[in-house]
Every structure is written in structure tokens, then in C-alpha cells.
Amino acid sequence: MDNTAGKRPTVKDVARLAGVSQGTVSNALSGMRGVDPETRQRIDQAIATLGYVPNLAARRMRTGLTNTIAVMTSMPAAVSAGSSRLGFLMEIAASAAIHALDYNSALVLVPPVADPAVALRHVAMDGAIVIEPQRDDAFLSLLKHRGVPVVVIGEPPASHPSGGDLPWVDLHYTRTAELLLSHLLEQGARRIALILGTSSRASQSTTEVIYQAWMLLRGIPPCVIRVPETEGEEGAYQATRYLLTNNPDVDAIFVPVDAFATGAMRALRDEGRTVPDDVRVVTRYDGLRAREERPALTAIDLHLDQVAALATRLLMDLIAGKEIQQVTEGPLPSLVARGSSQD
Amino acid sequence: MDNTAGKRPTVKDVARLAGVSQGTVSNALSGMRGVDPETRQRIDQAIATLGYVPNLAARRMRTGLTNTIAVMTSMPAAVSAGSSRLGFLMEIAASAAIHALDYNSALVLVPPVADPAVALRHVAMDGAIVIEPQRDDAFLSLLKHRGVPVVVIGEPPASHPSGGDLPWVDLHYTRTAELLLSHLLEQGARRIALILGTSSRASQSTTEVIYQAWMLLRGIPPCVIRVPETEGEEGAYQATRYLLTNNPDVDAIFVPVDAFATGAMRALRDEGRTVPDDVRVVTRYDGLRAREERPALTAIDLHLDQVAALATRLLMDLIAGKEIQQVTEGPLPSLVARGSSQD
DNA sequence: TGCCTTGAGTAAAACGTTTTAATGCGCGAC
DNA sequence: GTCGCGCATTAAAACGTTTTACTCAAGGCA
């Protein structure tokens, strides 16, 4: 018969064994239409004896739904993952995977690689969570072209051709910058430098705007250095040494990108500056790097697990065709003060 | 025409525009059979103008291949993920995702939830990487039933009904235990306690065997405490307080599970013991918890990124039907000595 | 020349579901 | 008593690809 060899039983086999048609089996499975309780029982019985498991590919082809969402970011791996591959992306992915399950969906991890088109070529999804996209983000363009629903974590870049209509979960860039700057000022810092990446992300531009405004207001000459994200920790190291040579009176450095912060700390050590006594350092993402550094880095708890849960729910609503608001307030960030900025 | 509205172009549309049959388009796409260069050019042209993207669900249904692998572990979330959702699982997932891409495959993350059957219900995969399965591991059973190729990270439990025939990447449990025990002894510890989980995993039983042997050899009375994994940090906290009350002369605690180590550290603080002066503490996984603790925990670098890369390649070979050896030597673990065990 | 091989191409089948349109049946309302 | 309606059920269509079996023409070899 059919179930002798390695062939998996199909709905056809179940139907035959239960003495009904394929359609009825399908209805019993999905519960979409009424099925007589007695018939349903026979079908369940047949499914059990045959060990039937639905062929997901066939179901997906027919329905057009994949029951899959993806998480991705265009941030280069040098920054977003780092040597131990942890961080931002993974923290969000873990939370999203758990919450996707509530919607009978799996989560696929799209790794940050050079060519987004390659990364997406073999991934089918009902929707995507895109983390902190940059201007002209390749992932956003590809997803838009495919018509995939998208929820952004962090503010989408205003000028992206995909339109400013993407829903997003606010990561509170303004409040984050203010928390860190006010903390530094409270701790007595007066010459605060800012080290940013060169990519065009809302997080960076917002941070710079706030920084410039605060410095202007307090009569502090601003000092902003930009380092390409691809150069990672080493790039920040070089930049910081350069900064310390040219601006020896700097007494605080604001380094939002944690990979850069690690480089900055190393540069400070090599330049013989003591943290926090000579120079105070703060960063944004409170991950492995921030906590492992000595002294440990003051950072921001972004509550990424809650953010990811929120984004997942929004995405599911969007996929289901519900109306969702364009901007959703995520949990408010909170300061995690550590040894790098206070005595 | 067809491409007026929201309907995605299909191979049929491409064929029509290029003036060939569907089969030829398919051949041109897969390169499986010869296609005249001039014809191929016309097809490429048609694909470009139509913006054709293959329907993966249809392809998968026809070929039976999903170009997807999954990563999963049955370790409860309380231990494997923790409050910030990082750790072991995520570190492996990140590396596997990157390397899966080399084989045109996506990686789906199966979250550690109570019911593995639910977690797998909507996931189709060509193969799976299972992390440190326990005896009667539900994931292994389900995967075996579906006939999915599996590679295990860490030694599979000997008695699993799925058979001892599963290929696995060695995490060197013996060497890991020896590294930590010899380090403790070198540091002068003489009364070493061991805190383990209650689940039946090879890592635990191997660790205990080595521990017992070493203690016996040195005439040290062994002291082993087992805490259910589901109780997480708090369970270990209680167990450690109990341990310190009943065995006040303990001068070192070996806590392989990092979530437990966090609880043990808290118990030591609450009992007024100084680490490392009064009691030395070591753990296994060198993750966020180990590094964030004060003093930071001595741990083992398992080189999980290399392990995951290895496992991914093995799995891909297995899927491709190649012969692979049953046990593969992973990279050797190395000691990361920190303040929790040395002065 | 005749025969066999090769290579490019095609029409149609096949994959396993869900959905659609149709069928038969029992039942209450007229 | 019949009409119409709702319900459970069915046969067949549809989803978009890859694969199979076949045709046709060109070319090599005896």
C-alpha cells in the first residue's frame, strides 16, 4: 500500500482510510467549515493511525501564507554581532521567536551579510521586522518590491524611497540621548565628545541633533567624530586616539555604538587616561560589551525584549490586515549607570 | 494583462514574454539542463522586465526541499535564555545562520517553549541542529518521526530511543570539567562542591563522573547538589544557602549552568562569604551572566561560533546524502580565568 | 544513405494542499 | 405537499513550480 515505504501519508490517504473526501479532511483540520462530530472523530482516528503530518510546502503554496516572519538588520556584522555574535539583533530575535509562536509562526533569522539580496533569496515570509534601517536600506527596498509587510524597530529613515509610511516601534532616540547627556553633565563633565557611525540612520542623526542642541545651550564647543561602521572596534580606537591628541581636554565621550565604545576604552587605556576620573564614557546598547568592559560602561536599558514582543504583535496585526497606528510607543529607556561614568 | 494588478508574475508569464515554454524557463533558472545562450538571454531579459521572483512555496512543494535548517534546544528558557534572552542558543544560532547562507539556506529559530510539538508544528526544514538534548528529548523524537536529518551539538544521551546513531559535534565535557577542577585545585581549593541540574544530559552526567573521580583520587569528600532547571537562578540560590549552612567549610563551588552560578553568587553574598577569598566559583558557559557578575566568573570559552559552523557544515553534508563521521571533534575548550576563582 | 546520438525545446503530469461549485438531504415555513 | 434554506459532503479546480516523456533537427559514423 501507500504507507509501506518512506512515503509520507497525505491527506488523500487519510481521506481514504476515514472514508471521506479530501475536502472534508481539510475542513476538519482547519475547522473552517462544519464537520459532523462523528465524521471528525473518524478523521482524527485515521490521522493518528497513519501518523499524518501536513505537508507545509503544499499548504503554503495553496494559501500563500508561510507562517513565517523574518528579522533582519543591515547593520554590518562587525558592529551588530561582534566576535561572540551576540547583541542587539539576537536579543530581538529571541524575543520575537517566542512571541511569533503565539501566532503559529516561525521566526527566520536573516544574518547581516554583505548582500541583502542573497540573504533574502531563499527566504519566504509573511512579514518582516527590520531593525534600525538606514537610508536607502537594501532590505527595505527588497521587501517593498516583494510586497512584504514590514514593521521597523527604531525610527525609519525619513527619506527612504519605500515611503515614510512604514509602521515602527519607537526606540526613543531623543530620550536616550538626553538620559546619557544629562547623566554626564550631572557627573561634572564639561567637554563632551560624540563618536558616531557614518551610516544614515535615524538613531545617529537624532543623537547628533540632540547633542548639538545641548552643547549649544550650555556653551560647550561640540566635537563630533564619525567612524565607518565597517571598521568596527579598530576604527573607533584610531578615532579616539586622534581625538585625545587633538582635544586633550576632553572629559567625557558619548559613544552610542557599543562596538565603538570598546575601541574607545582601549584607546583611553593606551593614552594613559583613567576612566572615569579623567574621561567618562557612556554608550547606548547595554549588551555584552558594555557589561564586560572594565570599568563597566554606563548604558541604556532599551527593554528590547518588550520592544520585540510589541513589534511582533504589530506585524501579525498588519499581516492579518488590521489597521495599526504608524508609530507605537515602545517601553521607555532607562539609564544603567556604571563605573565608566561615575565614581 | 497579467502584471497589471497585485499579482506576482509567474514562470508562465516569463515563458510567454520570452517566447519559450515553462520548462525551458525552469531549466534556465536552475541550470540543470542545457539552454541555448541566446534563449537564456531572452529569458533573463523577461525576468528582469517582469521583476519575476520565484514562488518558494511552489518550488519547495515540487522538490521537497525547503532550503531551511532549524536550531533548537529543549533546555528550559529559564536557563537557556534568561532575562535578556541571550546566551548559548543565540550564539549558536547567529553563527549557524551565517554559515547556512553558504548553502543557500535560511535558519529558523525554534524557541525553547514548554511544548516542542507546538513549536515544530509550523516549521518545515531540511535538517536540524539540536543543542545538548536530554534523555527522551522531545525534539529528537519528533524529528526522528518526521525523518529529518539531525546533527547534535554536545554529546547525545546514550539511551535515547532515537538511537545512538546521531552524528554530533563534541563539546569536550570531560576536558571542560578537568580544566575547571584543576584550576580550582591549583588555586588552593580543597572542599569543592558541585551544583548540577536535574535533567538527564550528557554534559551533566559526564561532569559528575569526572568530579567524583577527581575527588575520590584526592581524598576529598564529594558534595553534589541537584537543582531542577526550571527553578533557574532562584532554585540555585536556595540550594547554595542550604549547602553553605550544612557544609560551612566549602571553599569552592563548581556550577556548570551559568544561570545557577548567578544564583549561587547571590547566596554567597547573602551568607557573607567573600568570593574568591572564602569561596571560589567557576562556571561553564562564558556568556553575559559570567562576565557581568562581580567578581566576574571564571568560565570556559567553548568557541561556540566554530562549533556552530562545524555543525552547520555537517548537517548540510548529511542532507546532501554524504557520508559523515558520527562524532566530530569540535575546537578544544579553553579556560577563561577571572576574579571569581583567583586573587 | 541510413542509423544512432545528442542537444534544445515543449506539452503535460505531478507535487499535496485548500477552495470552489455543486449535490443531496432533512426540516421548518408557507 | 412543496418550496426554500442550511448543512455536511464531494468532485474537481487551482496554486506555481520541477520533472518527465516526447518531438524535432542537426550532426557523426558506418
- Domain identity same for A210 and A248: yes
Indicate if the pLDDT at residue B328 is higher than 80.
yes
* Interface list for B 96-115 with A (CB within 8 A): 97-98, 101, 104-111, 113
- Interval A119-160: pLDDT, tens: 999 999 999 999 999 988 999 999 998 889 999 999 998 765
Q: How many domains does chain B have?
A: 3
The reply to whether A196 and A237 lie within a common domain is: yes
> Do B78 and B151 fall into the same domain?
yes
Q: Specify the pLDDT at position B79.
A: 60
pLDDT at res. B29 = 92
In a domain, B6, yes or no: no
Nucleotide nearest to B15 (CA to C1'): C10
Q: B129 at the A interface (CB within 8 A)?
A: no
Between B105 and B145, whose confidence is greater? Answer: B105
- Quick one: closest CA in A to B92, which residue? A85
- Tell whether A186 and A166 lie within a shared domain: no
* DSSP symbols for A250-311: --EEEE-SHHHHHHHHHHHHHTT--TTTT-EEEEEE-SHHHHHSSSPPEEEE--HHHHHHHH
- Strand D contacts (CB < 7 A) among B residues 277-316? none
Distance A87 CA to C4 C1' (A): 65
How many residue pairs bridge chain A and chain B with CB atoms within 8 Å of each other?
141
* A339 within domain boundaries: no
Mean pLDDT of chain B: 91
* Predicted local confidence at residue B85, as pLDDT: 46
Among chain B residues, the shortest Cα distance to A70 is held by B108
Q: Is the CB of B56 under 7 A from strand D?
A: no
**Does residue B82 surpass a pLDDT of 90?**
no
Instruction: Indicate whether A116 and A104 sit together in one domain.
Output: yes
Which nucleotide lies closest to B62 by the C1' atom and the CA atom? C15
In a domain, B4, yes or no: no
Distance B145 CA to C13 C1' (A): 30
Report the share of chain A in percent with pLDDT over 70.
Answer: 93
B213 in any annotated domain: yes
pLDDT-derived band at B4 (thresholds 50, 70, 90) equals very low
Q: d(Cα A311, Cα A132) in Å, to the nearest integer?
A: 13
Query: Would the pLDDT of A198 be above 70?
Result: yes
Asked if B232 and B295 sit in the same domain, the reply is: yes
Instruction: Give the C-alpha distances (Å, rounded to integers) separating A173 from A81, A176, A252, A337, B90.
Output: 21, 5, 20, 18, 26
Does residue B23 fall inside a structural domain? Answer: yes
Residue B2: band (very low, low, confident or very high) from pLDDT cuts 50, 70, 90? very low
Same domain, A179 and A297: yes
Beta-carbon separation of A61 and B64 below 8 A: no
Residue A322 contacts B, CB cutoff 8 Å: no
Predicted confidence (pLDDT) at residue B160 exceeds the cutoff of 60: no
> Which CATH number fits the domain that encloses residue B124?
3.40.50.2300
Highest-pLDDT range among A2-11, A156-165, B112-121: B112-121
Local structure of A130: helix, strand or coil? strand
pLDDT over 60 at B86, yes or no: no
Degrees, nearest 5: CA angle B195-B199-B205: 65
Cβ within 8 Å, pair A101-B94: no
Is A55 near chain B, with CB under 8 Å?
yes
The answer to whether residues B180 and B294 belong to one domain is yes
A79: pLDDT strictly greater than 80: no
Q: Which domain holds residue B196?
A: 173-302
pLDDT value for A157: 84
Give a yes or no: residue B343 inside a domain: no
pLDDT bracket for residue B163 (50, 70, 90): low
Mean predicted confidence (pLDDT) in B134-157: 92
Query: Is the minimum distance from the CB of B35 to strand C below 7 Å?
Result: yes
Q: How many Å apart are A121 CA and C9 C1'?
A: 28
Q: Residue A83 domain-assigned?
A: yes
How many angstroms separate the CA atoms of A269 and A238, rounded?
Answer: 13
Kindly report the average pLDDT of chain A as a whole number.
91
pLDDT at A1 over 60: no
> A320 at the B interface (CB within 8 A)?
no
| B21: CATH | 1.10.260.40
Domain match, B99 and B37 both: no
- In this structure, are residues A282 and A255 in contact, taking their beta carbons and an 8 Å threshold? yes
Contacts of B287 (CB under 8 A, 6+ apart): A86, A288, B86, B87, B88, B91, B258, B299
Whether A3 shows a pLDDT value over 60: the answer reads no
A161 and A119 within one domain: yes
| Chain B environment of A111 (Cβ under 8 Å) | 94, 97-98, 101, 107
Strand C positions within 7 A of protein Cβ atoms: 7-21
In-domain check, residue A111: yes
SS3 track for chain B: CCCCCCCCCCHHHHHHHHCCCHHHHHHHHHCCCCCCHHHHHHHHHHHHHHCCCCCHHHHHHHHCCCCEEEEEECCCHHHHCCCCCCCHHHHHHHHHHHHHHHHCCEEEECCCCCCHHHHHHCCCCCEEEEECCECCCHHHHHHHHHCCCEEEECCCCCCCCCCCCCCEEECCHHHHHHHHHHHHHHCCCCCEEEEEECCCEHHHHHHHHHHHHHHHHCCCCCCEEEECHHHHHHHHHHHHHHHHHHCCCCCEEEECCHHHHHHHHHHHHHCCCCCCCCCEEEEEECCHHHHHCCCCCEEEECCHHHHHHHHHHHHHHHHCCCCCCCEEECCCCEEECCCCCCC
- Using an 8 Å CB-CB cutoff, list chain B residues near A146: 53
CA-CA distance, A260 to A75, in Å (whole number)?
A: 13
pLDDT exceeds 60 at position B83? no
Using C1' positions and the CA of A61, the closest nucleotide is D15
Q: Which is more confident, B76 or B101?
A: B101
Give the pLDDT confidence of B267-290 residue by residue, as tens digits.
999 999 999 999 999 999 998 889
Same domain (yes/no): B203, B106: no
pLDDT, mean of residues A73-85 = 63
Residue B295 predicted with pLDDT over 60? yes
Strand C contacted by B61 CB (< 7 A): yes
Among chain A residues, CA nearest to B291:
A292
Residues B265 and B155 in one domain: no
Q: Is the pLDDT of residue A335 over 80?
A: yes
